[in-house]
Amino acid sequence: MSQPRVLVCGRLPGSGRAALQDAGIEVEHQPERAAGSLVDVIEPYAGVIVHSGHQLDSAAIAAATNLQVIGRAGVGVDNIDVQAATERGILVMNLPWGNTVTAAEHTIALLLALARNVPQASAALRAGEWDRKKYLGVELKDKALGIIGLGRIGREVARRAQGFDMRVIGADPFLAPTVAEDLGIELMSMADLLPGADFLTIHVPRTPDTHHLIDAEALATMKDGVRIINCARGGLVDEAALLQGLESGKVAGAACDVFEAEPTDNHALLAHPRFIGTPHIGGATHEARERVGEGIARQVAEYLSQGIIRHAVNVQSLPPEEQRAMAPYLELGRAMGTLLSQCYEGIEALNVQYFGEITAMTLRPLTARILVGFFRPFLGDEVNVVNAHAVARERGLRVAESRSTDQRGYSSLIRVEANADRKTHSVAGTVIDGLQGRLVELGGLPIEIAPVGHLLVFVNKDTPGVIGKVGTFLADRGINIADMRLGRSSPGGEAIAAMTIDEPLDAAGLEELVAISELRWARTVVF
């Protein structure tokens, strides 16, 4: 039998090459391979390891007739068509931990540089200036560092900042308060964090929900003289709003390692005297490169030689005979998790209950899909069916799973209870005709609606005219209602409504909506 061949584009440490060769793999290393699609070279390889610049698009996947595994030397898989790879049965894996320390240390480097104007003072000295007053700095001791996103990197930043006697405040909708307390972090909402931070650093993935997370509106709520750091993803900070904040003095200083477009051409921002920029080097240390290169090489080697799967982003772990029957339940589970995370805050535990015929199936992948839906609105592609349970453990979310053959009115039923601040919130769903997922319970009240598109959910006192008021409110804003379902506990009691609308209400619109006196609360869920 011939040796499997692996193509490595970009860096490969000697330890990584050794890991592949020791597994009986032939290594084709192209360290100078230009960025772009690999469609012209991919055909003979069983495995490929790429960095961010090399594209495995749909054309390359189609040409990869021998490919079994793709290894991404890093976290993000934006350069890989994961769907096309999945359809071809190609495993895609990344290395989520390799850059953690390096990225955290670079964040602290920029934090110190901002506090003491290090690059500006150094540049002035090189130019022959000696002006100590111009570069007067601030101490970190007793300052509040706001951290948005408390995953691996955010926590490492917090630990280092605490070494400078900083007060660390954090916002992360999926971190249990007990875990935050153990870490010495004051957990709060982002709305409460922004006005209290002297320094702000962001450690979340870029998703539609986090794009321009820090915009002009957010900046307006912050302290005068706040200092802002972004070492996570370009586009989390609105660069135009940031520049305006620097020019007005609202922002005392800013430092970015990542930009909306890279290489950046935002010369006005780069030229501002209180801005510090670095060219996306947050993960660029000798140690990180060694860890990432060796780590992903070992993962690829273990898969090709032993079938061991680590950190896969598209693995299917259902038995083949169950995959077709379970497909609509997997999508339903994802939608139920998404609804819970977008409707309720401070959730500390999920109790996943399965009833009826579905209990004969393999259920752990379904629970994982519920967790993916729960975390993904905020964490994006950092969470998948492989690491969902680990992400839950890391963030202190307790997950329980139970099953009963009782049918509860449906041949199969999924019910998820979310515990938050001594309150229990629930959602239940089923699959109709083996194909169509339906939500059949929200907040303990019966309702039936498809979890698709944009869903407006609100709870109100069961009195006449409420639906008319909400309909008029939406009509005044040009928002059409595609579907509407109602449920109530009893006449005159508590009622719930779910409306599928053509476009979501923004935060300001929701705030106006809940001003309708009969409404208790309202949320928009984007599936």
CA distances from 78 to 213, 239, 270 (A): 20, 22, 26
What is the predicted pLDDT for the residue at 253?
98
Which CATH number, 3.60.110.10, 3.40.50.1970, 3.40.50.720, 3.30.1330.90, labels domain 320-526?
3.30.1330.90
Q: Which ranges constitute the DSSP H helices of 150-278?
A: 152-163, 177-183, 190-196, 216-220, 239-248, 267-271
What is the predicted pLDDT for the residue at 323?
74
Tell me 12's DSSP state.
Answer: -
Closest CA to 17 of 293, 241, 327: 293
Q: Residue 148 in contact with residue 190, Cβ under 8 Å? A: yes
- The string of pLDDT tens digits covering residues 188-207 is 999 999 999 999 999 998 88
Which CATH number does 5-98+286-306 carry?
3.40.50.720
What is the predicted pLDDT for the residue at 318?
65
Please name the helix (run of DSSP H) or strand (run of DSSP E) that holds residue 390, with its range, or none. helix 388-394
What is the predicted pLDDT for the residue at 316?
53
Over residues 506-527, the mean pLDDT reads 91
Over residues 466-477, the mean pLDDT reads 94
What CA–CA distance (Å, rounded) separates 349 from 344? Answer: 12
What is the predicted pLDDT for the residue at 444?
85
- The string of pLDDT tens digits covering residues 308-361 is 888 888 875 566 678 788 889 999 999 999 999 999 988 999 999 999 999 999
Query: pTM (2 decimals)?
Result: 0.79
- The string of pLDDT tens digits covering residues 132-146 is 999 999 999 999 999
Would you kindly state where each structural domain of the chain is located, as residue ranges?
5-98+286-306, 100-277, 320-526
Determine the topology of domain 100-277 in CATH. Rossmann fold (3.40.50)
Return the bridge partners of 426, or none. 417
DSSP result, 16-76: HHHHHHHTT-EEEEETTPPSEE-TTT-TT-SEEEE-TTEEB-HHHHHH-TT--EEEESSS-
Over residues 61-66, the mean pLDDT reads 94
- The string of pLDDT tens digits covering residues 354-402 is 999 999 998 988 999 999 999 988 888 778 776 788 789 888 999 999 9
What is the predicted pLDDT for the residue at 208?
84
Question: How many Cβ atoms sit within 10 Å of the Cβ of residue 493?
Answer: 10
Over residues 153-163, the mean pLDDT reads 97
- The string of pLDDT tens digits covering residues 426-467 is 999 999 987 889 999 998 888 999 999 999 999 998 999 999
What is the predicted pLDDT for the residue at 488?
87
Is residue 290 over pLDDT 60? Answer: yes
- The string of pLDDT tens digits covering residues 202-221 is 999 888 889 999 999 999 99
CA distances from 289 to 232, 254, 284, 302, 517 (A): 18, 27, 7, 20, 58
Q: Residue 340 in contact with residue 425, Cβ under 8 Å? A: yes
Tokens of 50: 């790429």
Residue type, 11: R
DSSP result, 293-352: HHHHHHHHHHHHHH----SBSS---S-HHHHHHHHHHHHHHHHHHHHHHHH-SSEEEEEE
What is the predicted pLDDT for the residue at 308?
85
**CATH fold match for the domains 5-98+286-306 and 100-277:** yes
What CA–CA distance (Å, rounded) separates 283 from 98? Answer: 9
- At 1, is the pLDDT very low, low, confident or very high (cuts 50, 70, 90)? low
Q: Which residue has the tokens 């209290």?
A: 196
Burial tier of 345 (Cβ tally within 10 Å: 0-12, 13-18, 19+) = exposed
High-pLDDT (> 70) share of the chain, %: 98
Is residue 87 over pLDDT 90? Answer: no
- At 249, is the pLDDT very low, low, confident or very high (cuts 50, 70, 90)? very high
What is the predicted pLDDT for the residue at 378?
85
What average pLDDT does the structure give for the chain? 92
Tokens of 106: 């670079």
Is residue 52 over pLDDT 90? Answer: no
- At 419, is the pLDDT very low, low, confident or very high (cuts 50, 70, 90)? very high
What is the predicted pLDDT for the residue at 110?
98
Residue 354, helix vs strand vs coil: strand
Q: Residue 336 in contact with residue 427, Cβ under 8 Å? A: yes
Active site residues: 233, 262, 280
Is residue 506 over pLDDT 90? Answer: no
What is the predicted pLDDT for the residue at 53?
83
